[in-house]
Amino acid sequence: MKIDVSSVKALTFDVFGTVVDWRTSLIEEGMQFGKSKGIKVDWAKFADAWRGGYAPAMDRVRRGELPWMKIDALHRMILDQSLNEFNLVGLSEAEKDHLNRVWHRLKPWPDAISGLERLRKRFIVSTLSNGNISLLVNMAKNAGLPWDCILSAELVKHYKPDQEVYQMAAELLDLQPDQIMMVAAHNGDLKAAKSVGFKTAFVRRPLEFGPSADKADLMPDPSVDVSADDFNDLADKLGV
Amino acid sequence: MKIDVSSVKALTFDVFGTVVDWRTSLIEEGMQFGKSKGIKVDWAKFADAWRGGYAPAMDRVRRGELPWMKIDALHRMILDQSLNEFNLVGLSEAEKDHLNRVWHRLKPWPDAISGLERLRKRFIVSTLSNGNISLLVNMAKNAGLPWDCILSAELVKHYKPDQEVYQMAAELLDLQPDQIMMVAAHNGDLKAAKSVGFKTAFVRRPLEFGPSADKADLMPDPSVDVSADDFNDLADKLGV
């Protein structure tokens, strides 16, 4: 099935979970870190706790209980809580800062780079992530992600799925919303993008939350324009 | 001479004149356009008039006589004036829009891409231009400029050399000002960057304003940290 994307000029990508495999990356770095320190932790549980604190922390910012802050700062706040919960005490500031920046070093899903290279021949490919600009730039350099543009929720001090984030992308790319397709593994992100007029592409990432996780978000909402198994499948379906 | 840049993490580049040769690009596209329309114009003078209207137009925005607008809109305003001055009448809206977007299609100086490829192995390389984001993204795709990040004065609705532009870059790259080096062919840009704490690199572009132009801006101000003949020379001097 190929859909008509003749009017689409840009693809904006969710990053955590859609482009990069945060969970495996966190577990691998955690295990290395634990080994070097001689400490035992269930790093899968640690990764899930760290990521699990993310949406509630953004909600606290939305409710005004916390000031707006970069995701780096939110990640650090949750990291400090998780270190306490897992009884990981006595880390130096440098160690905690390095651990926190694991989000700058996340590894792409195997299809991400080759798929993006194909897609960018036809479209502008940009991030549209809650990750802050410096996180996304460092990640791209580290992983070799070939973005044309780094756009972040940071630029409007709102987090997705607030509409301001998608509207900012349309304004800065100087495109009408329906000339942009949001690509994400999460229906909530896509529904919000659609509500401001974007086209939407769902990409299945069955292992995002680990092999035994709830599979609720693996079925695209019926409203999406296209659904794909990975970025190369998306390129096929967009006729690239 | 190599200078100590061990603390520098990112290079931010002025674009018009420093990375791309706006004058030759404008003249070449103008000549093609004139030929296709069967009209005779001194395109060198036209290019100089178009570019000449740029600083005064930004000053009108600074004084509040005009609202803030993207450079695309400023360029279009000056283009319309220049078309009148050169008695170029009867162009369709599509033709004027296409002509205005010549700024999205400017060609890099011969050393720009190879120099950037070298520099980005060691540093984050980002635009820091008055050009709007979409202009810079389209230019990069068209010319093959390998940016890690597209930063624009548009993000703070101030034009360089207003300090807000350089401060925005430091904030978004999450770096201290002295961890960033501004690269430009224009002393005014570098002096403003230095005033907020950036390191500075002057790159000579003797042909920016044409072979017979005043050479006043070809001598770096004594305050710059490094001066180079082109981007490969800059890479040599930064020890890349």
Residue B91 has a pLDDT of: 94
Residues B113 and B170 in one domain: yes
- Whole-angstrom distance, CA of residue B95 vs CA of residue B84: 15
Residues B43 and B135 in one domain: no
Query: Which residues in chain B are closer than 8 Å to A120, comparing Cβ atoms?
Result: 141
Which residue, B79, B104, B129, sits at the end of a domain?
B104
Residues A87 and A135 in one domain: no
Instruction: Name the residue type at position B5.
Output: V
Q: Is residue A4 part of a domain?
A: no
HSE-up of residue A158 (Cα within 13 Å, Cβ side): 11
Q: Is residue B97 part of a domain?
A: yes
Residue B215 has a pLDDT of: 66
Residues A34 and A138 in one domain: no
- Paired tokens of A174: 């100087």
Residues A67 and A128 in one domain: no
Kindly give the interhelix angle for A43-52 and A54-62, rounded to the nearest 10 degrees.
20
For residue A13, which of A146, A143, A103, A211 has the smallest C-alpha distance? Answer: A146
Q: What is the CATH number of the domain that holds B170?
A: 3.40.50.1000
Residues A190-214 have pLDDT tens digits of 999 999 999 999 999 999 999 888 7
Q: What angle do CA A5, A128, B134 make, to 5 degrees?
A: 70
Beta bridge partners of B199: B181
Residue B216 has a pLDDT of: 61
Which residue, B55, B78, B104, sits at the end of a domain?
B104
Range of the domain at A120: 10-21+106-237
Q: What angle do CA B94, A178, B66 make, to 5 degrees?
A: 55
Q: Nearest Cβ partner of B149 from A72, A150, A175?
A: A150
pLDDT tens string, chain B, 240 residues long: the values are 557 789 999 999 999 999 999 999 999 999 999 999 999 999 999 999 999 999 999 999 999 999 999 999 999 999 999 999 999 999 999 999 999 999 999 999 999 999 999 999 999 999 999 999 999 999 999 999 999 999 999 999 999 999 999 999 999 999 999 999 999 999 999 999 999 999 999 999 999 999 888 766 789 999 999 999 999 999 999 999
- Tokens 């296709």 — which residue? B36
Q: Are A208 and A184 spatial neighbours (Cβ–Cβ below 8 Å)? A: no
On whether any CB of chain B is under 8 Å from the CB of A71, the answer is: no
Residues B117 and B52 in one domain: no
Q: What is the CATH number of the domain that holds B36?
A: 1.10.150.240
Q: What are phi and psi of A202, to 5 degrees?
A: -95, 130
Q: Kindly report the nearest CA distance between residue A87 and chain B, in angstroms.
A: 30
Residues A50-65 have pLDDT tens digits of 999 999 999 999 999 9
Secondary structure class of B180 (helix, strand, coil) = strand
Interface confidence (ipTM) of the complex:
0.96
H helices within chain A, ranges in order?
22-37, 43-52, 54-62, 71-85, 93-100, 112-119, 133-143, 163-173, 187-195, 231-237
Q: Is residue A1 part of a domain?
A: no
Q: Is residue B50 part of a domain?
A: yes
- Tokens 């000549």 — which residue? B31
For residue B11, which of B109, B116, B134, B110 has the smallest C-alpha distance? Answer: B116
For residue B231, which of B111, B107, B120 has the smallest C-alpha distance? Answer: B111
- Whole-angstrom distance, CA of residue B16 vs CA of residue B130: 9
Q: Which residue of B has its CA nearest to A133?
A: B172
Q: Is residue B57 part of a domain?
A: yes
Instruction: Name the residue type at position A3.
Output: I
Number of domains in chain B: 2
Q: Are A99 and A91 spatial neighbours (Cβ–Cβ below 8 Å)? A: yes
Beta bridge partners of A201: A183, A226
Residues A156 and A99 in one domain: no
Residue A149 has a pLDDT of: 98
Query: Which residues in chain B are closer than 8 Å to A175, comparing Cβ atoms?
Result: 134
Q: Are B133 and B150 spatial neighbours (Cβ–Cβ below 8 Å)? A: yes
Please name the residues between 83 and 112 in chain A that touch chain B, using a CB distance below 8 Å.
none
pLDDT tens string, chain A, 240 residues long: the values are 557 789 999 999 999 999 999 999 999 999 999 999 999 999 999 999 999 999 999 999 999 999 999 999 999 999 999 999 999 999 999 999 999 999 999 999 999 999 999 999 999 999 999 999 999 999 999 999 999 999 999 999 999 999 999 999 999 999 999 999 999 999 999 999 999 999 999 999 999 999 888 766 789 999 999 999 999 999 999 999
H helices within chain B, ranges in order?
22-37, 43-52, 54-62, 71-85, 93-100, 112-119, 133-143, 163-173, 187-195, 231-237
Residues B17 and B100 in one domain: no
Q: Kindly report the nearest CA distance between residue A89 and chain B, in angstroms.
A: 27
Query: Which residues in chain B are closer than 8 Å to A150, comparing Cβ atoms?
Result: 148-150
Q: Are B44 and B110 spatial neighbours (Cβ–Cβ below 8 Å)? A: no
Q: Is residue B38 part of a domain?
A: yes
Residues B111 and B212 in one domain: yes
Residues A162 and A207 in one domain: yes
Q: Kindly report the nearest CA distance between residue B33 and chain A, in angstroms.
A: 25
Residues A63 and A84 in one domain: yes
Residue B212 has a pLDDT of: 83
For residue B112, which of B218, B240, B1, B15 has the smallest C-alpha distance? Answer: B15
pTM as predicted: 0.96
Residues B229 and B116 in one domain: yes
Q: Is residue A188 part of a domain?
A: yes
Q: Is residue B5 part of a domain?
A: no
The residue among B11, B68, B132, B141 with the most chain A CBs within 10 A of its CB, best to mutate, is: B141
Which residue, A59, A89, A104, sits at the end of a domain?
A104
